[in-house]
A and B are shown apart, each in its own frame.
Chain A
Amino acid sequence: MARITLETLRHSYVEKPGSDVDWALASLDLEWTDGGAYALLGPSGCGKTTLLNIISGLLRPTEGRVLFDGTDVTDKDPVDRHVAQVFQFPVVYDTMSVFDNLAFPLRNRGVAEPAVRERVTEVARMLELDGLLARRASGLSADGKQKISLGRGLVRSDVNVVMFDEPLTVIDPHLKWVLRSKLKEVHQRFGNTMIYVTHDQTEALTFADQVVVMLGGRVVQIGTPVDLFEAPRHTFVGHFIGSPGMNILPCAVDAGKVVFDGETVALDSPPRAVPAGTLELGVRPEFVRFAPDGIAVEVVKVDDLGRHQVVEVRRGAHAIKLIAAEGEAIPSERPRIAFDPRRARVYADGWMVEGGASR
């Protein structure tokens, strides 16, 4: 097990990268603590898989270094890095039985046969493959094959990190939930560092202690699920995480005051100076409420979701969503709304502007 450090990592699949779009990974500094359960979250094509492949050694980064416990492993092969990786689509060795498939990574490293048997049996029991050990792997369903892939990732006890690249894509929804809990259980039991790539926020938030959100080859935020929810550092994080996502409204900053559509919005920590770039106000629907002294809006739509209601209101051309408690009355006469001053934030060109003198 190890602490993994990525130093000024850049990667391009193009021979001679020129402009920004050529970089699959555009400069990355990151540290993964030993034994952490990380989720790597982001839209397709944001560089998640590239990052995984660099950590495992399948790819050599164009620039930068990869360190395991402070030792430079940038030039080492995957075998020498002692990592495990599970891919999006099942990889099984068709010619082998399920048992031999699971035993393969161990036998390749010369593990003694009794130890192999012990580990394989344990992993198989955990993944509920124990009845199938003698079967030929090629005959299994997609679910079963992906369980084998997972099993091969978990069977070694000496790995520095186990990486999962959207491993549950081909699994049906019910089993998805079961397997995710299994992985969580495995993490608690063995304490491996685990990195779990996904584009599904529920998967990320339930699996991980720390979530790394990526966009366009950059890490936009690392934090606990709560951090990401309460203080998104980028409008993308606000928008991507949460359901519905954060409201993002154009605004102006004038003499320490934040102005949205002609109305001043009170903030606990407004920007000190006028930030450069396009300015936006971000506030989650959870932190918007009806208030008699707020901004005048009109109600467009109310969705009752049972536990709470999602209300869509409109101010001029801007749609704003807010969450009202179950059974809360929606004002019909001249409704007004207010933003929670502690939770609303100003973003410049998408990035959160650090507040000035707080309170």
Chain B
Amino acid sequence: MTARTTNQKAWWLVAPVVVLVAFNALVPMMTVVNYSFQETFGDNVFFWEGFKWYEELLRSERFHDALVRQLAFTATILAIEVPLGVAIALAMPRRGPWVSVCLVLMALPLLIPWNVVGAMWNIFALPDIGLLGRLINGLGVDYNFTQDPTSAWVTTVVMDVWHWTSLVVLLAYAGLCSIPDAYYQAAKIDGASAWSVFRHIQLPKMKRVLTIAILLRFMDSFMIYTEPFVLTGGGPGNTTTFLSIDLVKVALGQFDLGPAAAMSLVYFMIVLLLSWVFYTVMMRNEGT
């Protein structure tokens, strides 16, 4: 990056952004913090409760279960989407008319409203009228995502893979395209194997965009709400009740503002903390 000059007046340039984001972030955040220490029975009457909600939350089995489900889900989709996305990006043509076709078709799922994604997969996977449901049952596997926990779990994961792998593909592809031809040529001359090219050229050059991809996929999958909510409603039972779904159930369903607020903050802190850990681990070797 070019050397930057010190100029305190630059604050004027960032002021609009700060105002807009602060308005949306700080006021609600303060509300949440405020609620998290209080109890209400409606009518805007509040009682100070101190850390009670936090203590309850951290001891709550329901929260633990939702957190474990969330971690399992996020780990699963990362383990599938990242390698799959990289593999597809590697196999994509680097130039020619097919590049645009691929990019446009692949980006399509990213631009479908999330509830439509849920609804689409619902229709697609229904055991009686869905193509996928029919197909799997036709193969002799007992599949019904509305009743069978395993089916529901697998369907949710496959839906997320369908929805988001393209993001990894796009990023990885961008990383690959930024590698100058000379690197591949030099590798050919040096007699490098395909694996060596991947290990020593493509992977290091993709590191930065892959970091972005993994961070984004981590954050977004940790916040997932709409798609599984529309697909399964969190069920059957609590099989697909992830943190956000649980939070909304508590906050809007039962209107327990205090516990919901405490849960919100803990939830946000977990996302921040894990993002930071991811970031530090992946960037550790940079520049040394």
- Residues of chain A contacted by B201 (CB below 8 angstroms): 93
- B64 interface residue (CB < 8 Å to A): no
Separation in Å of the B219 CB from the closest CB of chain A?
A: 27
Q: Which of A57, A78, A87, A94 contacts B182 (CB 8 A)?
A: A87
Identify 9 residue pairs between A and B in the complex whose beta-carbon atoms are under 8 Å apart, listed by A's number: A78-B191, A83-B189, A85-B185, A85-B186, A93-B200, A95-B199, A95-B203, A152-B186, A152-B190
- B16 interface residue (CB < 8 Å to A): no
Further 19 A-B residue pairs, CB within 8 A, beyond A78-B191, A91-B183, A108-B196: A53-B185, A56-B189, A58-B185, A79-B188, A85-B186, A85-B189, A87-B186, A91-B186, A93-B200, A93-B201, A93-B204, A94-B204, A94-B205, A95-B200, A96-B200, A108-B191, A108-B192, A139-B287, A152-B190
- Residues of chain A contacted by B180 (CB below 8 angstroms): 89, 91
| B185 adjacent to A87 (CB under 8 Å) | yes
- Residues of chain A contacted by B2 (CB below 8 angstroms): none
- Residues of chain B contacted by A139 (CB below 8 angstroms): 287-288
Separation in Å of the A50 CB from the closest CB of chain B?
A: 13
- Residues of chain B contacted by A104 (CB below 8 angstroms): 190, 192
Give Cα A136 to B288, complex, Å: 8
- B193 interface residue (CB < 8 Å to A): yes
Give Cα A149 to B196, complex, Å: 17
- A109 interface residue (CB < 8 Å to B): yes
Give Cα A44 to B79, complex, Å: 47
- A350 interface residue (CB < 8 Å to B): no
| B189 adjacent to A84 (CB under 8 Å) | yes
* Top 3 A-B pairs, shortest CB-CB distance: A108-B191, A91-B186, A105-B190
Taken residue by residue from 241 to 278, chain B's Cβ proximity to chain A (1 for < 8 Å, 0 otherwise) reads as 00000000000000000000000000000000000000
Separation in Å of the B196 CB from the closest CB of chain A?
A: 7
| B183 adjacent to A77 (CB under 8 Å) | no
Residue among B182, B186, B196, B199 facing the most chain A CB atoms (10 A cut-off): B186
Give Cα A85 to B187, complex, Å: 10
| B199 adjacent to A78 (CB under 8 Å) | no
Q: Which of B182, B199, B203, B288 contacts A89 (CB 8 A)?
A: B182
Give Cα A274 to B158, complex, Å: 81
Find the B residue at minimum CB distance from A84: B189
Give Cα A96 to B188, complex, Å: 17
| B189 adjacent to A78 (CB under 8 Å) | yes
- Residues of chain A contacted by B287 (CB below 8 angstroms): 139
Separation in Å of the B15 CB from the closest CB of chain A?
A: 39
- A88 interface residue (CB < 8 Å to B): yes
| Count of interface residues, chain A, beta-carbon cutoff 8 Å | 26
- Residues of chain A contacted by B182 (CB below 8 angstroms): 87-89, 91
Give Cα A77 to B187, complex, Å: 12
| A108 adjacent to B186 (CB under 8 Å) | no
Find the A residue at minimum CB distance from B286: A138
Measured as residues with beta carbon below 8 angstroms from the partner, the interface class of chain B is: 20 to 34
Residue among B189, B196, B200 facing the most chain A CB atoms (10 A cut-off): B189
Give Cα A57 to B190, complex, Å: 12
Separation in Å of the B24 CB from the closest CB of chain A?
A: 40
- Residues of chain B contacted by A57 (CB below 8 angstroms): 188
Give Cα A108 to B199, complex, Å: 14
- Residues of chain A contacted by B199 (CB below 8 angstroms): 95
| A108 adjacent to B190 (CB under 8 Å) | yes
Give Cα A58 to B185, complex, Å: 7
Give Cα A139 to B286, complex, Å: 10
Find the A residue at minimum CB distance from B201: A93
A window 94-131: CB within 8 A of B:
94-96, 104-105, 108-109
Separation in Å of the B187 CB from the closest CB of chain A?
A: 8
- Residues of chain B contacted by A91 (CB below 8 angstroms): 180, 182-183, 186
Taken residue by residue from 5 to 31, chain B's Cβ proximity to chain A (1 for < 8 Å, 0 otherwise) reads as 000000000000000000000000000
Find the A residue at minimum CB distance from B186: A91
B window 164-199: CB within 8 A of A:
180, 182-183, 185-186, 188-193, 196, 199
Separation in Å of the A244 CB from the closest CB of chain B?
A: 35
Give Cα A202 to B204, complex, Å: 38
| B200 adjacent to A105 (CB under 8 Å) | no
Residue among B191, B201, B203, B204 facing the most chain A CB atoms (10 A cut-off): B191
Give Cα A131 to B288, complex, Å: 18
Separation in Å of the B33 CB from the closest CB of chain A?
A: 44
Residue among A56, A58, A88 facing the most chain B CB atoms (10 A cut-off): A58
Taken residue by residue from 304 to 341, chain A's Cβ proximity to chain B (1 for < 8 Å, 0 otherwise) reads as 00000000000000000000000000000000000000
| B186 adjacent to A79 (CB under 8 Å) | no
Find the A residue at minimum CB distance from B196: A108
Taken residue by residue from 196 to 232, chain B's Cβ proximity to chain A (1 for < 8 Å, 0 otherwise) reads as 1001110111000000000000000000000000000
Residue among A53, A58, A93, A104 facing the most chain B CB atoms (10 A cut-off): A93
- Residues of chain B contacted by A83 (CB below 8 angstroms): 189
Give Cα A353 to B196, complex, Å: 54
Give Cα A109 to B287, complex, Å: 30
Separation in Å of the B189 CB from the closest CB of chain A?
A: 5
- Residues of chain A contacted by B190 (CB below 8 angstroms): 104-105, 108, 152
Give Cα A104 to B201, complex, Å: 13
Residue among B190, B193, B204 facing the most chain A CB atoms (10 A cut-off): B190
Separation in Å of the A190 CB from the closest CB of chain B?
A: 18
Taken residue by residue from 44 to 63, chain A's Cβ proximity to chain B (1 for < 8 Å, 0 otherwise) reads as 00000000010011100000
Find the B residue at minimum CB distance from A165: B182
